[in-house]
């Protein structure tokens, strides 16, 4: 996989993604990339063009299929971001960015639930 395409992503987000890839020692050559026709809303544009992105990280066997928008380039970068998050979670476990974010949300919900019970 090569990242030479012009992504519709802010410079800071793009640099953050590249930094995360570098920190996790992910070799972009180990990512297998396929484009397939999508499904769902969007009509002809979705059904006839190959804009759904399927990425597979070969060393860990992690796969991501992504199709949120009609544009291939946007789907491609968002799929890569999701794949990197999954790889990070697999390698770091509870210390990954995503896991800490989920733990924070869980903690907030627990606190709200306690408050709701006490208010009754």
Determine the pLDDT at residue 15: 84
Domain boundaries, the chain: 11-93
Determine the pLDDT at residue 4: 63
* Cβ within 8 Å of residue 59, ≥6 positions away: 30
Q: What pTM was estimated for this model as a whole?
A: 0.75
Question: What's the CATH fold of domain 11-93?
Answer: Double Stranded RNA Binding Domain (3.30.160)
User: What would the pLDDT profile of 37-71 be if each residue is shown by its tens digit?
Assistant: 887 776 777 778 888 999 999 999 999 999 888 88
**Number of neighbours of residue 106 by Cβ within 10 angstroms:** 10
Of the candidates 92, 91, 66, which has an alpha carbon nearest to the alpha carbon of residue 80?
66
Which one is predicted more confidently, 82 or 4?
82
CA atoms within 13 A on the CB side of 11: 0
Distance CA 42, CA 61 (A): 31
Token output for 7? 């992504």
Determine the pLDDT at residue 5: 60
User: What would the pLDDT profile of 59-116 be if each residue is shown by its tens digit?
Assistant: 999 999 998 888 888 888 899 989 998 898 888 887 778 888 888 999 999 988 888 8
Of the candidates 69, 67, 66, which has an alpha carbon nearest to the alpha carbon of residue 31?
66
């Amino acid at each position: 996989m090569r990242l030479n395409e012009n992504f519709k992503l802010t410079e800071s987000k793009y640099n953050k993604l590249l930094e995360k890839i570098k920190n996790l020692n992910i070799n972009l050559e180990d990512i297998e990339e396929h484009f397939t026709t999508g499904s769902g809303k969007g009509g002809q544009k979705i059904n006839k063009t190959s804009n759904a992105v399927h990425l597979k990280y070969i060393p860990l066997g992690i796969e991501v299929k992504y199709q949120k928008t009609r544009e291939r380039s946007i789907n491609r970068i968002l799929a890569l971001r999701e794949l990197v998050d999954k790889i990070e979670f697999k390698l770091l476990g509870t210390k990954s960015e995503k896991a800490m974010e989920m733990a924070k949300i869980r903690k907030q919900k627990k606190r709200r639930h306690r408050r709701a019970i006490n208010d009754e």
